[in-house]
Structure 1
Amino acid sequence: MHYPQEPPSGIHPLLAGRYSPNRFDPSAVIDDYALGLLLEAARWAPSAGNCQPWGFFVGRPGELEYDRVLPHLAPSSARWATDASLLVVTLTRRHVDDTQLPYSEFADYDLGQAVAHMTVQAQALGLAVHQFRAFDLEGLTKELDPNPGWVIVSMVAVGRATDGPSGLRDRRSVAHLRSAPWSPAE
């Protein structure tokens, strides 16, 4: 695999080989076992107070759930996401029921960890993941009508990639990030 910048020595191949594809194989299928592994990997993610403030609405081609999500994709994401084997709507629990009391101030962060775990598990299964936000949030929220306190954050397309990681931006090295000037006042 060609990288714009060679990953640092010791980075696990599952992490070094990860990229967000722009094309998926529409004939690929994610069976119930693989779907279960993806969701189980997310469940094992750490969360503040072990509250696991995340949820997923999943759909595969041919399923009602998939058909409910599809019309809400933006044209830019519909060009490639419709060929994915699985579309996942990510949700987080920001508030306790319909109050403004925070359920967890780390809910979005914890959701990100869960999706990262799902992404690494997908990579281990030979699948690729493309996270995105190009969809009609208001329309999808009306369609799915999440429980009080829950909000839709993003979507994830999962499947077999048919394109390579060409065109990736250079990945900054940790040494470069550490040397960047920063102060709490900025």
Structure 2
Amino acid sequence: MRKPAESSAPLADLIADRWSPRALDETGEVTWDQLRALLEAARWAPSFGNTQPARFLVGRRGDDTFRRILATLTPRNQSWARRAGALLVAVMVTHNEKGEVPYAEYGLGLAGQNLVLQAVAEGLVAHQMAGFDPDAVRREFALPEEAVPRVAIAVGVQASPEVLGEERDVERERAARKRLPLEEFAYTDAWGEAAF
């Protein structure tokens, strides 16, 4: 099911087609080659002073890492993310040998966006989640103090919305994508003065 972005200017297909479905095919495979491509895309994201603060924990459905990441998700996210082909946790490194890493969260966000756009290029979908327990991730994977889990990511093959079961979830999956209009998003001259 495609839900391309409705925009006032043409967008690159990867951007227009990217969205965050929850309906995933529990038999759809995410290969190690695909995961390598997603992580290479993330690795080549820009970062402040090339500090590269992004790190990822990676599990494929059926392996122990997947199971352990799944256990850290909220029950609501577990209900659909269990069907993902892969689960990841995006982690930001806040300190390195030179001291505090400036803009680490921004760098991790850029890496995450590269990862999800590469998922679209691979014919996959990705859904980023705040609904997980960072402390559980920290304990389960023995993260050092400077490694901060920020978001969990489900990657998989899209399925029919009906796999979600509950009607409200199916309707939410089918609903049109919405964003603020451009005039409420980009300003010029003064705050609130629409650039377009």
TM-score bucket of the superposed structures, by smaller chain: 0.7 to 0.9
Q: Aligned partners of 2:3, 2:96: CA distance in 1, in Å?
A: 44
Aligned with 2:149 (options 147, 152, 155): 152
Mapped contact 1:92–1:151 kept (Cα < 8 A): yes
Aligned with 1:166 (options 163, 174, 179): 174
* Unmatched runs of 5 consecutive residues or more in structure 1: none
Specify the alignment match of 1:71 in structure 2. 71
Per-residue deviation, residues 67-108 of structure 1 (Å, max 9, x unmatched): 2212211111011111000100110011247xxx85312101
Q: Aligned partners of 1:29, 1:170: CA distance in 2, in Å?
A: 29
Q: Aligned partners of 1:149, 1:171: CA distance in 2, in Å?
A: 34
Specify the alignment match of 1:176 in structure 2. 184
SS in 1 for 2:83: coil
Matches within 5 A, 1:39-78: 39-78=39-78
SS in 2 for 1:178: coil
SS in 2 for 1:151: strand
Q: Alpha-carbon deviation of 1:2? A: 6.6
Per-residue deviation, residues 5-36 of structure 1 (Å, max 9, x unmatched): 72233211111111110110010111111111
SS in 1 for 2:8: coil
Q: Alpha-carbon deviation of 1:175? A: 3.3
Q: Aligned partners of 1:2, 1:152: CA distance in 2, in Å?
A: 31
Q: Alpha-carbon deviation of 1:167? A: 1.9
Specify the alignment match of 2:118 in structure 1. 121
Aligned with 1:132 (options 121, 129, 140): 129
Give the TM-score, by structure 1 length.
0.87
Q: Percent identity, please.
A: 34
**Higher relative contact order, structure no. (Cα contacts within 8 Å, ≥ 6 residues apart):** 1
